[in-house]
Amino acid sequence: MAKFIFVTGGVASSLGKGIIAASLSKLLQARGFKVTNQKLDPYINVDPGTLNPYEHGECYVTEDGQETDLDLGHYERFLNIRTHRENNITTGRIYQNVIEKERRGDYLGHTVQIIPHITDEIKLNIQSLDNGQYDFIITEIGGTVGDIESLPFVEALRQMKWEMPERVLNIHLTYVPYLAAAQELKTKPTQHSVKALQQAGVQPDVLVLRTEHEISASMKAKVGLFCNVGAEAVVQSIDASSIYQVPLNMQSEGLDRIVLRKLGYDLNEVPEANMEAWKQFLQKRQNAKKEVHIALVGKYVQLHDAYMSIRESLSHAATYNDCKLCLDEVLSDELTPENVSKRLGQYAGLVICPGFGTRGIEGKFAAIRYARENGIPCLGICLGMQCMVIEFARNVLGIPDANSIEMDSETAHNVVDMMEEQKRVSQMGHTMRLGAYDCHLQEGSRVHDIYKKEYIRERHRHRYEFNNLYRDIFERNGMHCVGINEQANLVEIVELKNHPWFVGVQFHPEYSSTVLAPHPLFLDFVKTVLH
């Protein structure tokens, strides 16, 4: 029987609940426990697949094809495990399930209500993870306590705490602001946030105070006293230079010890957390001096979270190549054939980002042409790969109106076409080609050398594909289709032979790079960029 740990947040959003949850999981995992993380999102969308990255940051895709919150990416990167559909639940999905049950007649004769029907459905979705595989299920409730939207989730937490007091624990993360003029840290917002939680019937067991300055023992004791939490269960989470530092900070604050003790473990019988490999990774990162300058060419560049997994994958690869990643985002809308060498001249490598729709597409072509003609290592991901194909058709094969059907439904030269199965799709939600599929790698290709495997499995999220009618002419002119999904005869990877490193992938390698298992494609890309 698993223990359930809930992470709630107060005072402000974006305090890093996901990172705190992932850090605690890491520490428990490093003590030998089996742990999984779950994210509850209070919005009505059934999944974030239909959300713009500006609204929500990156949409992360699990191997089983669920479009999820980007926190699942953190969980996978920290824990080096895979998450699944049940690791991310939204209000929309809860309501959808309940309404389907109501239509089926499951509640026949009863009025369907938020309590107990919605809250029961929430509890069911949390407890379904308790399938014998895990010692701890760490569930993060999105939003901040007091929001109307997250109330049913907090109520589910209250009920679970009441029903299984010895198996359920709540960690509440708040913010302690520093007033520069008064040179003082202020705990009042934390007190109010805990009051809001208590009003919902939940007494937090542990408080994590996010802060920019050290919080003294006496301040921790004061917060503890006001909030009915022992001083020993109040810890600080001070701003860190890297998210990967946070597990070690939480370890020195004793978060895992506090949690275990509160859940009835005898600490003498639990092994200490072995964080050696993690520390080595961080040391490598801190010692790296040499810089590697890479540009991320995309259209969601003003928002840091939009390409989260690509950034993290590149940063893992840089660390394992003993260098420091200097990553700049370049807005593709602003790139033109005229300014591209000036705008991209200082970068030793380019990543062409995934995406949807026409905005910024011409700038991506300009960047790709510049990389192709000047021997600059270039990795194209999903739409980035499709853009590589279109650029090659236009400028090498001499088909000036080559395009993707996505960008021009009338184009006579649809080198990127809609997948056959997509032509029957009418709804937008959860209908792309999603999740992990096999890909066969051609012997003698660069990617075969990189992966050192005949078959790989990578995650997808797309509706369009390389048009096989053009395969011969591409191959004859030097763009090779070296990765194929054999079931669908779908081109997964293209690469150029006469180029230091020019690879386009239809899949998303960024979803599967982790701290302790960096992704081979990013490793090789960064290695080439460095030399």
Binding flag, residue 463, ligand GLN (CB under 6 A): yes
User: Cα–Cα distances in Å, from 484 out to 382, 457, 506?
Assistant: 14, 11, 10
Of 56, 448, 462, 508, catalytic: 508
Provide the token pair at 364: 């991506």
Pick from 357, 313, 307: which is nearest to 330 by CA? 307
Q: What is the largest CA-CA distance in the chain?
A: 75
Q: Which of 26, 448, 461, 499 binds ligand GLN (CB under 6 A)?
A: 461
Residue span binding ligand GLN (CB under 6 A) among the ranges 126-134, 163-171, 188-196, 352-360: 352-360
Choose between 382 and 490: whose C-beta lies nearer to ligand GLN.
382
Binding flag, residue 85, ligand GLN (CB under 6 A): no
Choose between 117 and 462: whose C-beta lies nearer to ligand GLN.
462
Of 382, 387, 439, 481, catalytic: 382
Q: Which of 57, 355, 435, 483 binds ligand GLN (CB under 6 A)?
A: 355
Residue span binding ligand GLN (CB under 6 A) among the ranges 6-14, 228-236, 242-250, 351-359: 351-359
Half-sphere exposure of 436 (CA within 13 A, CB side): 15
- For this structure, is 495 an active site residue? no
Give how many residues touch ligand GLN by CB under 6 A: 10
Choose between 49 and 152: whose C-beta lies nearer to ligand GLN.
49
Angle at 24 between CA 43 and CA 158, to 5 degrees: 50
Q: Which of 10, 65, 177, 354 binds ligand GLN (CB under 6 A)?
A: 354
Q: What is the side-by-side order of every strand in the sheet holding 502-505?
A: 324-331, 291-298, 349-352, 378-381, 502-505, 490-496, 479-485, 433-441, 455-462
Binding flag, residue 408, ligand GLN (CB under 6 A): no
- For this structure, is 382 an active site residue? yes
Burial class of 381 by CB neighbour count within 10 A (0 to 12, 13 to 18, 19+): buried
Binding flag, residue 356, ligand GLN (CB under 6 A): yes
CB atoms within 10 A of CB 12: 13
Binding flag, residue 494, ligand GLN (CB under 6 A): no
Of 312, 448, 510, 519, catalytic: 510
Answer yes or no: are the C-beta atoms of 210 and 175 closer than 8 Å: yes
Shortest separation between residue 476's beta carbon and ligand GLN, angstroms? 25
Peptide bond into 271 cis (omega under 30): no
* Beta-carbon contacts of residue 75 (< 8 Å; ≥ 6 apart): 18, 21, 22, 25, 36, 37, 81, 83, 87
Q: Which of 382, 479, 481, 494 binds ligand GLN (CB under 6 A)?
A: 382
Q: Which of 41, 140, 329, 406 binds ligand GLN (CB under 6 A)?
A: 406
Answer yes or no: are the C-beta atoms of 403 and 392 closer than 8 Å: no
Question: In angstroms, rounded to a whole number, what is the distance separating the alpha carbons of residues 386 and 494?
Answer: 9
Shortest separation between residue 509's beta carbon and ligand GLN, angstroms? 12
Answer yes or no: are the C-beta atoms of 491 and 468 closer than 8 Å: yes
DSSP letters, 83-99, are --GGGEEEHHHHHHHHH
Binding flag, residue 20, ligand GLN (CB under 6 A): no
Binding flag, residue 388, ligand GLN (CB under 6 A): no
Residue span binding ligand GLN (CB under 6 A) among the ranges 49-57, 84-92, 461-469, 518-526: 461-469
Binding flag, residue 73, ligand GLN (CB under 6 A): no
Binding flag, residue 316, ligand GLN (CB under 6 A): no
- H-helix or E-strand containing 156? helix 151-163
Shortest separation between residue 34's beta carbon and ligand GLN, angstroms? 32
Binding flag, residue 383, ligand GLN (CB under 6 A): yes
Q: Which of 462, 471, 480, 499 binds ligand GLN (CB under 6 A)?
A: 462
Angle between helix 276-287 and helix 308-320 axes, rounded to 10 deg: 80
Shortest separation between residue 406's beta carbon and ligand GLN, angstroms? 5
* Beta-carbon contacts of residue 295 (< 8 Å; ≥ 6 apart): 327, 328, 329, 330, 344, 347, 349, 350, 351, 367
Choose between 256 and 417: whose C-beta lies nearer to ligand GLN.
417
Choose between 41 and 58: whose C-beta lies nearer to ligand GLN.
58
Binding track over 133-172 against ligand GLN, x by CB under 6 A: ----------------------------------------
Answer yes or no: are the C-beta atoms of 498 and 452 closer than 8 Å: no
Shortest separation between residue 252's beta carbon and ligand GLN, angstroms? 40
Q: Which of 464, 466, 502, 525 binds ligand GLN (CB under 6 A)?
A: 464
Burial class of 304 by CB neighbour count within 10 A (0 to 12, 13 to 18, 19+): exposed
Phi, psi of 196 (to 5 degrees): -60, -40
Q: Which residues bind ligand GLN (CB under 6 A)?
A: 354-356, 382-383, 406, 461-464
The catalytic residue positions are 382, 508, 510
